[in-house]
Amino acid sequence: MHSRAHATLTTARSEQIMRALGGGDAPKDARCTACHSPFQSLPAERLVSAPHAPTGVSCQNCHGAAESWLLAHTRTDYSHGDRVRAGMREMRLIYERANVCVACHQNVSEKLLAVGHPELIFELDGQTLAEPRHWIERRIYDGPKAWLVGQIVALREMVWKEQGDPSVTARFRQRRLALEWLLSPLAGIDDSLPEWSTTVGGLDAFARAVSILDWDDDLTADCFRRLARRHGEFLDRAVPQAQQARRAERLVLAIDRLAAATQSEEAKPAEASIKRLFAMAQSLPDFLPDVFARELEALAGRL
């Protein structure tokens, strides 16, 4: 998918977005290539050789400039530390991986969203599993922990943007509040975690702490139950329907990732219920909080 990112800019949808922005050529516009083909934005003097045809997102966009590590990084006698010391960006730790990936997988300008660019929801676990495996996991991969660290980093970025960007819209605030709502009950899953805080620094510290937890199936099940048992909150008439729809959007993605990692028999009867919850959350304008609450209550009852 990364190698094909530039091709997305040649589609009819990209042309439509550029017309709405007042014109321009998406495959060459820095507002688009910054994420879809980052090397196009680099001055020629930064490149060792002349650029080839547009390459989409290359290895170096994630792993750092390759001049010092390209020839040696596949050597079998090279350790992970050797590669990092040679200039490769640290990606083994899920906290570091989240920081690298969130930059393009969530941060889209409000102007682009306003003219039809799809909203992006950063989700580290699912997106890691979708990436063709070109690395070796030297430790057990904990999908739920990767999911949670990624969500905390995503919230940190949203809080940071809202503090520094006066152009953020009501839609952006709804999405930030929905993610904050989703994560708040998970703050107490382990006594070693710092106090929950929605400041930029507090979220960063929390993400670091979660990333080094000794994760186990009990923690996954605890997160799963805490989220599934929030059905009563969708009956709160004081919360606008649009905000409830944003909450549901985040919640079904979270439950899906946690259920996928749950090996116990109790998770199997939940599959059909999760599919129904997904369907209910697909259309934000048509979202029905009462119906969603009943299905979520039924799911909680199956756990």
* pLDDT at residue 141 in the model: 84
CB atoms closer than 10 angstroms to residue 282: 11
Domain extent, residue 105, equals 91-214
Which of 156, 188, 214 is where one domain is finished? 214
Number of domains in the chain: 2
CB atoms closer than 10 angstroms to residue 8: 17
* Stated pTM of the model: 0.91
DSSP structural state of residue 119: P
* pLDDT at residue 9 in the model: 93
- Asked if residue 13 belongs to a domain, the reply is no
Structure tokens at 257: 């990732």
Structure tokens at 272: 């059909």
Residues 223 and 203 in one domain: no
Residue 137's identity, in one-letter code, is E
Residues 233 and 176 in one domain: no
Mean pLDDT per 10-residue interval, the chain, length 303 residues: 89 95 92 89 76 75 89 88 92 92 89 91 91 81 94 96 88 95 95 95 97 93 92 96 97 92 69 92 95 94 80
- Asked if residue 14 belongs to a domain, the reply is no
Which of 214, 240, 259 is where one domain is finished? 214
* pLDDT at residue 94 in the model: 92
- Asked if residue 67 belongs to a domain, the reply is no
* pLDDT at residue 270 in the model: 78
* pLDDT at residue 275 in the model: 92
3-state secondary structure of 135: coil
Residues 193 and 99 in one domain: yes
- 3 state SS for 183-219: HHHHCCCCCCCCCCCCCHHHHHHHHHHHHCCCCCHHH
Residues 242 and 204 in one domain: no
* pLDDT at residue 263 in the model: 63
Residues 165 and 236 in one domain: no
Burial of 164 (0-12, 13-18, 19+ CB in 10 A): exposed
Q: What are phi and psi of 214, to 5 degrees?
A: -80, 95
* pLDDT at residue 117 in the model: 93
Structure tokens at 242: 């649009």
- Asked if residue 45 belongs to a domain, the reply is no
CB 173 within 8 A of CB 162: yes
